[in-house]
Amino acid sequence: MSEQALSAGWRHAWRLSLPYSRRGRILFAIRAAAVLILIAAAVSTPGFFTAVSLFSLLNTTSFIGCVAIGMTFITLSGNIISFALGATLSTSGMVFMAALPLGLTAALLTAMAFGAAITGFQGAVIGYFRANPIIVSMAALALITGGATLITQGQGIYPQGDAAAALKGHIFGVPMPLAAFIATVVVVQVVLSFTRFGRQLYMVGSNWRAALASGLEPARIVLGAYVGAGLCTAVAGILMAARYSSGDLELGLGYDYSAISAVLVGGTSIVGGEGSAVRTLVGAFIIAICQVLLLLHGFSTQIQYLCIGVIVLFVIMVQTLAEGE
């Protein structure tokens, strides 16, 4: 791949050139100011740059981040959001735990396949039947939760022995969840920027009818996006289950909301066709930093939720302004 193409690819991932219009420059200034305020707050908060708080920051972000990267696929494809990814995270963790007796590799593959299959099925329904993605995801949420409760009788799954210990360690000194998150971001960004599927995903998200008229198969591409979302979510599910040494339906509670917040704060367009994995990575970190800062200043969880809500609202307002450009 030529160097030129590479650099264009990354520029595409994160728009670096300065905007022309006055409104564009104002928006740019707002974003830059927000990031600077965040950095200033972090520097001036005692205890932020300690190993413990950074470690917990990176760990929490990694789980949410993987789900958010999965959500990015769905948002980019023009299907807004899915409410089923949190449940998918939980259940793929449970599948992983249940399959551990078969060996670590087999369990990993089974859990990934499970995540890809149940999310991919939703993608097929949405793509081929042009069903409303939000309704489908709500139905899927009910189905997944109901099915899992039925099978497990509401119990968690606890594996014999500790075959998943390898997933709790470090790789080259980097905690496993963080390493997996970074790897996910890199792989997904490469898929989005440099593969045919990635390009087609942007096209379908940008204009379904035009994609159809260009000879694409939008339904298949949407299916692919959902499979991608399922895989990323399963990665998070596996890591979380390994971390807590159990598979439980509660694990992924609320993760879909955190994930969509990260996608939006990162600047991926809610109507599809514009955004990237790198943006979502940034979004996830911004939210996590805010959470840690609030925590260090002694604010309760409720206040944290409130603040995230305000941030997301603020970002949506700024994005909407940018759309009108």
Partner 1 sequence: MLLSGLEFGGTTALREVAQQREVDARPGTAPAVLGVRHLSKSFGPVTALRNVSLDISPGEIHGICGENGAGKSTLVKILTGVYRPDAGNIFVNSAVVSIATPRQAQEQGIAIVAQELSLCPDLSVEDNIWLGSLRVPFLHKRPELRRRAAEALNLLGAGYIALDAPVATLGMGERQLVEIARLLTRDARVLILDEPTATLTDVEIERIFAALLAVKREGRSVLYITHRLAEVYTICDRVTVLRNGELVATRSREELDRGMLIEMMLGRPSGEMYPQETPTHGASALHVEGLSLPGVVTDFAMNARSGEIVCIAGQVGSGAAEIVAALAGLVHDADGRVTLDGKPLKLGSAVRAAQRGIMYVSGDRAAEGVFRRLSVLHNLAATRLREFSLFGFLRGGALRAIASRIAHRIGIDRRRLRSRADELSGGNQQKLAFGRCLERRTGSVLLMNEPTRGIDVGARAEIYRLMRSFCEEGYTLVMASSDLEEILGVGDIIITLYRGRRVGRYARGEVTMHRIVADITHPMEPRA
Q: Are 116 and 227 in contact (CB under 8 A)?
A: yes
Site for partner 1 in 218-277 (CB under 8 A): 269, 273-274
The nearest distance, CB 217 to partner 1, in angstroms, is: 5
Q: Which of 50, 132, 155, 195 binds partner 1 (CB under 8 A)?
A: 195
Nearby residues of 90 by Cβ (< 8 Å), 6 or more positions away: 148, 237, 247, 248, 249, 250, 251, 252, 253
Looking at 31-39, 101-109, 134-142, 192-200, which segment touches partner 1 (CB under 8 A)? 192-200
Q: Is 5 in the site for partner 1 (CB under 8 A)?
A: yes
Residues in 77-136 that interact with partner 1 by CB under 8 A: none
CB 107 → partner 1: shortest distance, Å?
A: 28
Task: State yes or no: residue 44 binds partner 1 (CB under 8 A).
Answer: no
Grouping H, G, I as helix, E, B as strand and the rest as coil, residue 246 is coil
Among residues 109 and 274, whose Cβ is nearest to partner 1?
274
Cβ-based nearer residue to partner 1, 250 or 323: 323
Closest to 115 measured CA to CA, from 81, 87, 152: 87
Amino acid at 12: H
Looking up tokens 């109901």, which residue turns up? 146
Residue from 13, 109, 199, 304 in contact with partner 1 (CB under 8 A): 199
Q: Could you say whether residue 6 binds partner 1 (CB under 8 A)?
A: yes
**CA–CA dist 80, 138 (Å, integer):** 13
Nearer to partner 1, 1 or 43 (CB): 1
194 binds partner 1 (CB under 8 A): yes
Task: Pull the structure tokens for residue 82.
Answer: 């899915």
Q: Return the H-helix or E-strand segment holding 266.
A: helix 255-266
CB 172, CB 52: distance < 8 Å: no
Work out how close the CB of 108 gets to partner 1 at its nearest, in angstroms, rounded to a whole number: 23
43 binds partner 1 (CB under 8 A): no
Q: Residue 18 carries which DSSP code?
A: P
Q: Which of 217, 245, 270, 321 binds partner 1 (CB under 8 A)?
A: 217
Verify binding: residue 314, partner 1, rule CB under 8 A.
no
CB closer to partner 1 out of 169 and 215:
215
Euclidean distance between CA atoms 203 and 212, whole angstroms: 10
- What is the rounded CA–CA span in Å between residue 98 and residue 314? 42
Closest of 186, 240, 222, 199 to residue 69, by C-alpha: 186
Q: Is 21 in the site for partner 1 (CB under 8 A)?
A: yes
The span from the CA of 196 to the CA of 194, in Å, is 7
Residues found near partner 1 in the complex (CB under 8 A): 1-2, 4-6, 8-9, 12, 20-21, 194-197, 199-200, 202-203, 206-207, 209-217, 269, 273-274
